[in-house]
Structure 1
């Protein structure tokens, strides 16, 4: 009798696995067909994001651990990341507006060249001043999900060029997904220092890998930038600079409405930026302090986080087409807010890892949908401005977070940054749902 029951259970498990495999196969075939339907330029920009995210994934895990191994204090680490955020925010505003007046492709090529030079310098030296300058210029360790740092407004504006307005929610979510999947692969590479180091330094909070073992990770960035230079150089751009429009009376209300939307976006992003800055850039450092873990444990956890967030981004794009961008963003991030409050309370690494993974999928899986909303608030010739304002209004408040969090973490307060971030996130969600409630449908081109 028992053997019959076990046999039936085994057959049921096999049937369920076959059903899952068939559904996954159909889903992957559908994704492949939709990918082939994208414009070649769109595919090139998205592939460049995937390559770029490899290095970002490795460094978002290991940069703070590397600096920690170099005996940098928590405040020093946070200060450098904050300075990088301020630098990126100011530069992104200039770059975005300039790209509206000229073209977008040259700016991205310039960014890749700068990043390649910085990665080589970081590989060759650990001299504190030079390493600080390189981190600030290139924005290493900030985990931009494959975005082109301060040049990301250019990337987003160019990506919109060959995508129909009603398809932007899905395409931008796919773009986000590719970034997260690349970050996941990069995070797996972040395990390497745990295996190649020659000896460890035992401190009161655990075991640290020798600092020199981290430096080869910067070569991942170098190789990725070379691939991106090839992809982006071959990509076509139709936009030739700002469109000169004749002055018409109807132009005034259109521009006034666009400005109103952008002003609201800037105001809301301030709260979101503070929340991200308090809880995001130093998360690996937090796991190391609270649980005494190193790259061997943190890197696989981060890799799983990025992979699942990438899958969540794809589903978010599909849901946003049916339920609307605003509804999708608000509900997903509201659940993520609850998980953020629980994160500093759990006593075990595995519990914190599960909460962090789930929160990331819900919170960051909606990034693409929010970017699609941003580029659709204005006409084509103002997309660089819109994406720049979106970036600056996030990055400037965000840049204050790492310094404050680093100081609190060094003082032994491992919970307050999460609670403060949750409060800012709650304000953001309430205001976001109210201000953009009329944008909760497939968006048409404002031009």
Structure 2
């Protein structure tokens, strides 16, 4: 390994001012997401929402989130990422307060959309909201490129740590099955805690630097249009649209429904589900930290593809699990694979995009998947209500596995710069290493 490839310890990376603030804000935001991820579906089910109605809600949430994410991605270079790191968590805080005191369907729909309640999956770590393109650019701009995988892995660790705390709080503040008449009072503490955590994330973000984009052509930065298409990263974006659309269709089939599925399939209550997610987050807490080592050993594209295949295949035994405990074990294994792969996927996209187009690529690469993900829950709600509790997971398994093979075929010859540099240095030193990916020339 070259010195450059190994520069900076984990602690040194985390001591970077902006990255430490992003890390802390991510912990707080993941606490909020984890609590809402458990409380909101069960609260809505208690109010009388069935699977199809939840699907319509998640459709609304996903469409609004897609629009917000794309807008943020385009505007980040002009406005700066910091603003969105403040505003979006503040919206989530307001929505948490609204959910703590309202049972009006229209109001719940509006604020679920603004706060992206229902977006993401299960145990809560990972996606923090539509400002993620802005956050990703801040991460890249705050560290040395050789530490990019470590930085994204640390932020992934922050997500898991926050989700661990959030699911623990949900388990403590949760309740057994409750009557509709007292639902608001019962779920109010959970939603208020979620609101406070989101507000803390917003306040922390106020201390971030407002980095400009690291344009590869600085003279063009001031002339850049807010809604300019990322031409230099076109090759990357088109491929990501294919793989992310497939993956989004799969995730949309099961992700927003994990809590609801456990509630319906095994009659699990908020406490039981919170305890399961707590165990998942404890076991997967350090999963992101092994991601850079796996990427170094096997190559980012190869290990990411393998892990996504594992995620897809594990959905079938999960869907067919006869008991809550067995389902929980399989779900935990799957979440471990997902959390190892997540920072590598995010890091790879930013590494391969043109520096002046990173936020736009991060946003646009997920746009088709968000649209497909928006439509999938409606079908899933119908299937869960009228066909089968396992069929949505089985369909998702096939689609997600296909997305993994497509990802490998598209990017197997497109290694990130640090892997190319490491291989070239090894060859120059006449060191024999396993064959790794070669970069494509665009």
Same fold (TM over 0.5): yes
Matches within 5 A, 1:13-24: none
Distance (Å, rounded) in 2 between the aligned partners of 1:326 and 1:150: 25
- Contact 1:61–1:298 under 8 Å retained in 2: yes
**1:69 Cα deviation from its structure 2 partner:** 0.6
Matched, 1:409 2:409: no
- Per the alignment, residue 245 of structure 1 pairs with 219
**1:292 Cα deviation from its structure 2 partner:** 1.3
**1:256 Cα deviation from its structure 2 partner:** 5.8
Matches within 5 A, 1:229-308: 229-239=202-212, 244-245=218-219, 258-308=233-283
Distance (Å, rounded) in 2 between the aligned partners of 1:155 and 1:80: 26
Unaligned runs of 5+ in 1: 1-31, 203-207, 248-254
- The number of aligned residues is 402
Residues 320 and 241 of structure 1: is their aligned pair in 2 closer, same or farther, counting only changes over 3 Å? closer
Matched, 1:200 2:175: no
Unaligned runs of 5+ in 2: 1-7, 222-229, 422-440
Matches within 5 A, 1:7-406: 34-38=10-14, 39-143=16-120, 145=125, 147-195=127-175, 200-201=178-179, 210-239=183-212, 244-245=218-219, 258-406=233-381
Residue-by-residue CA offset, 1:88-124 (whole Å, 9 max, x unaligned): 0112111111112331111221212222222222222
Residue-by-residue CA offset, 1:382-441 (whole Å, 9 max, x unaligned): 111111012323321111222111111111511111111111112111110111112345
**1:329 Cα deviation from its structure 2 partner:** 1.0
Residues 256 and 443 of structure 1: is their aligned pair in 2 closer, same or farther, counting only changes over 3 Å? farther
- Contact 2:43–2:187 under 8 Å retained in 1: yes
Distance (Å, rounded) in 2 between the aligned partners of 1:269 and 1:56: 22
Matches within 5 A, 1:410-425: 410-425=385-400
- Contact 1:174–1:317 under 8 Å retained in 2: no
Residues 312 and 37 of structure 1: is their aligned pair in 2 closer, same or farther, counting only changes over 3 Å? closer
Distance (Å, rounded) in 2 between the aligned partners of 1:369 and 1:37: 16
- Contact 2:32–2:198 under 8 Å retained in 1: no
Residues 140 and 178 of structure 1: is their aligned pair in 2 closer, same or farther, counting only changes over 3 Å? same
Distance (Å, rounded) in 1 between the aligned partners of 2:328 and 2:28: 26
- Contact 1:52–1:147 under 8 Å retained in 2: no
Which protein shows a greater Rg? 1
Distance (Å, rounded) in 2 between the aligned partners of 1:444 and 1:102: 33
**1:294 Cα deviation from its structure 2 partner:** 0.8
Distance (Å, rounded) in 1 between the aligned partners of 2:91 and 2:265: 36
Pairwise CA RMSD: 2.6
- Contact 1:153–1:391 under 8 Å retained in 2: no
SS at match of 2:149: helix
SS at match of 2:284: helix
Distance (Å, rounded) in 1 between the aligned partners of 2:99 and 2:262: 24
- Contact 1:100–1:383 under 8 Å retained in 2: no
- Contact 2:300–2:344 under 8 Å retained in 1: yes
SS at match of 1:90: helix
Residue-by-residue CA offset, 1:204-252 (whole Å, 9 max, x unaligned): xxxx9945311221212322233223321112233279664369xxxxx
Matches within 5 A, 1:423-434: 423-434=398-409
Distance (Å, rounded) in 2 between the aligned partners of 1:246 and 1:237: 19
Distance (Å, rounded) in 1 between the aligned partners of 2:339 and 2:279: 14
Distance (Å, rounded) in 1 between the aligned partners of 2:65 and 2:33: 15
- Contact 1:142–1:281 under 8 Å retained in 2: yes
